[in-house]
Amino acid sequence: MGVNDAVRWLRISYWAGAILDTLAALSMLSPELFAATSGLQNFHPGIEYRYAMGMGASLMLGWTALLLWADRKPLERKGVLLITLLPVVPGLVLNEIVAVRAGFLPVLTTVPVWIAQALITGLFTFSYLNVRKLQID
């Protein structure tokens, strides 16, 4: 794989991550959207939920901006993939496991989220390691 291919994969990774983070932020900002995509019936959260999700959505939109910023200089900013991936995915997955085990989220609506997280983890890892290999050789 050449440098152009490696850069293409980096850019695909940045944009895929930015799109997923934007969708997550929208879901966090709209309890109705969250309920519909999570299989929750009669979900009417209070101000505490809305406040916490607003804080989380701000962080998701920050990750979106960071990934789009990295796309401007894909090789130089490849480390953004690890910065985005390592703290966020394990934290999100653990939180979702707790929500499923507590009976808040149905497992059937959470499995597609886990699949998306596994795919984005694979994509980010593949893209990052591809570039590292080219830069070492």
Provide the whole-model pTM.
Answer: 0.89
Q: Tell me: the pLDDT tens digits for 67-89?
A: 999 999 999 999 999 999 887 77
**Six token digits for residue 66:** 């960071």
Domain spans of the chain? 3-136
Q: Tell me: the pLDDT tens digits for 29-39?
A: 999 999 999 98
Report the b/e string of 22-51 with b at 16+ CB within 10 A.
bebbebbbebeebbeebebeeeeeeeeeee
